[in-house]
Amino acid sequence: MTNPLLHDNQLPVFSEIKAEFVEPALNQVLEQAKKTVETLLTNMTEPTWQSLVLPMEELDATIDKVWSPVSHLNSVMNSEELRVAYNACLPKLSQFGTELGQNEALYKAYKDLAEGDSYADLDLAQKKVIDNALRDFRLSGVELSKEDRDKYKQISQNLTALTAKFEENLLDATHDWKKHITDEALLAGLPESTKGMAAQFAQREKLEGWLFTLDFPSYMPVMSYADDRDFREEMYTAFATKASDQGPSAGKWDNTQVMADILSLRHELAQLIGFDNHAQRSLATKMAQSPEQVLDFLNDLATRSKPIAEKEFDQLKAFSQETAGMTELEAWDVTYFAEKLRQQRYSISQEELKPYFPEDKVVSGLFSVVNRLYGLDIKERTDIDVWHKDVRFFDIFDEQGELRGQFYLDLFARNHKRGGAWMDECLVRRQTEEGIQTPVAFLTCNFSEAVGDQPALFTHDEVTTLFHEFGHGLHHMLTKIHHAGVAGINGVAWDAVELPSQFMENWAWEREALDLISGHYETGEVLPQDLFDKMIAARNFQSAMVMVRQLEFSLFDFRLHLEFKPDQGDQVDKILAEVREKVAVVKPPLFNRFAHSFSHIFAGGYAAGYYSYKWAEVLSADAFSKFEEKGIFDRATGIEFLQAILEQGGSKEPMALFIEFRGRKPEIDALLRHTGIAA
């Protein structure tokens, strides 16, 4: 059988991709890429866009075409065989990437192009591609001595292996723990939908009764509704100690040493290329100008939020004392009593909203929202090869009928799929010899699946998550830039990349939009006005507590990478404790090992960059305030956002694009108003 990863198909043929094909395919494209670079440099008389940048872009695309589906499958259909193949490829990719970044002849060719006569004739996006490339060469250690370049290469390979190990430990620890229950009395307080899902899980494992897991759709309802305090404590303990030295699988998939090694190597790498620490190295590709600016921004938000968060927590403690005689509120009680207090104050729960958000209505309603904003027409296709029966595929057309993008939608939690929600690139928009390559996105979530005869019903939180990921998807798919390095999300400063995603979330709260995305699964009735009023009234319930929790993550991440000292042993617990002392209002138990599952910073792209969520929220809230002024479906404003932000990708600095849309620099007022902190 020929290798499906090397077929010239437009889209991956997922049903034919097996673990045994992965390494041979990657070996072949990397070998070919090395020869291409060699030939390119040997034959080049004068570097131009056509003779240098385009062939390098083509080379990247050939590797991505093999690696993108493999990397995606490793996240959504993980198996022992695939994992072995994936891990065997990581050092090869890392080595190739580092060698390319340290190729002095290639670096010189880009420098000559930037200083040559033809540079002046290039458009802004092309210049940005070249400027970014020169920056990345320097960040890859191209100007180091031979000895230091070798050291850089080794560190990079080790880091790649360690971040993959972190993610594997987390996946294994999450899916290893299960709670099998046969006594229905233990399920008191749980919604019928949660019990139905747990019964479905048990049946699949050929068990009587109910089965609970640490996947979010199973975990969160237990923490929110289960009356049995011991059950909540057991589940919280398992969740809060995943992949650590504590809890039910203590030491089995322990990330403690993995984290220490990652931090140490990041620090060493940053110092090797002339930065004091990894936080400074991280800011080289971000909007924020200095560590001080980031810390001032986060500390300012903390100063504004913490007094309100303390009041909110005091109210929660008083409520639990009053209603249940609780003298001490433990971590596994907080979500439970918060839900009870929310229901008492606003007579509303996530569970009550679920019947109004069936999968098909939410998805088609989301498409209606973007149709009204940008004139897009989204159509499902059923002739595309996918990796799981639940995965759907769609085409996006603009008002002129042009195909602008395509995406896979994988909504439900399942075994062998990593947790969380994300957008990833399958194909990037770029100019090829055949024409413009259509961008294709992977949109992945971990929502509650359908139970029994009912369709899948989403919580409003899940609806908001879907809007968030779709915002990332639109940023990737609607770009009009033809150069892969700055098309879509590529080349966008990391602390601005969350702007389009957080921006989209706003429509999940607007009456006009909710009329499009809600419809009771039995009657079709849109969300009733009284439920909508309660939902809006409850929107900022404990929002300061939510704010300080996000600030805790952001400050912990940034300080950890800024203050790291290689000779001081474990700094994770120390810095986390200091940050919690300063900003947290809920003090978790000593066995809590939150950092051990913080994959955003230890396995994702957010190291010393988790603050980006809050940073970009200032941008997104301010951008949305223009729609609040003009009308949330004002087409002219929608087209302005499309043209200024979504279509231009990373071709200009994010501040310039924001000013192009908003007419001024961003202001924090809208964020403070939206989160209720201004009040």
402-439 pLDDT tens trace: 999 999 999 999 999 999 999 999 999 999 999 999 99
In this structure, how many other beta carbons lie within 10 angstroms of the beta carbon of residue 113?
Answer: 22
With a cut of 80, say whether residue 1 has pLDDT above it. no
Paired with 432 in beta bridges are 435
- Predicted confidence band of residue 330 (pLDDT cuts 50, 70, 90): very high
Q: Please determine, looking at this structure, whether the domain spanning 4-143 carries the CATH number 3.40.50.2300.
A: no
CA distance 147 to 156: 14
107-139 pLDDT tens trace: 999 999 999 999 999 999 999 999 999 999 999
Task: Fill in the amino acid letter for 672.
Answer: L
Q: Which CATH fold would you assign to the domain 354-537?
A: Neurolysin; domain 3 (1.10.1370)
Write down the pLDDT at residue 363: 98
Instruction: Report the share of the chain in percent with pLDDT over 90.
Output: 98
Catalytic positions: 469
Instruction: Report the share of the chain in percent with pLDDT over 70.
Output: 100
CA distance 502 to 514: 17
Measuring CA to CA, which residue among 465, 492, 446 is closest to residue 605? 492
Domain 4-143 and domain 256-348+543-610 have a common topology? no
Q: Please determine, looking at this structure, whether the domain spanning 256-348+543-610 carries the CATH number 1.10.1370.10.
A: yes
CA distance 455 to 354: 11
Mean pLDDT of 607-621: 97
With a cut of 90, say whether residue 207 has pLDDT above it. yes
CA distance 404 to 376: 9
Task: Fill in the amino acid letter for 377.
Answer: D
The two beta strands, 178-181 and 210-213, are antiparallel
Angle at 446 between CA 353 and CA 427, to 5 degrees: 125
List the end-to-end C-alpha distance of the chain, in Å, as a whole number: 65
Instruction: Sketch the domain layout of the chain as residue ranges.
Output: 4-143, 177-240, 256-348+543-610, 354-537
CA distance 7 to 352: 49
557: CB partners within 8 A, 6+ apart: 598, 600, 601, 606, 607, 608, 609, 610, 611
Strands (E), 224-376: none
The CA distances from residue 425 to 64, 273, 498, in Å, are 9, 29, 15
DSSP for 322-369? HHH--SS--HHHHHHHHHHHHHHHHS--HHHHGGG-BHHHHHHHHHHH
Q: In the 8-state DSSP scheme, what is residue 175?
A: H
Identify the helix (H) or strand (E) that includes residue 22. Answer: helix 19-43
Mean pLDDT of 17-36: 98
With a cut of 90, say whether residue 679 has pLDDT above it. no
Write down the pLDDT at residue 678: 84
Place of tokens 């872009």: 57
268: CB partners within 8 A, 6+ apart: 155, 566
CA distance 138 to 273: 8
Write down the pLDDT at residue 570: 84
With a cut of 90, say whether residue 344 has pLDDT above it. yes
Mean pLDDT, the chain, rounded, equals 97
Mean pLDDT of 205-217: 97
| Burial class of residue 287, CB neighbours in 10 A (0-12, 13-18, 19+) | buried
Mean pLDDT of 279-289: 97
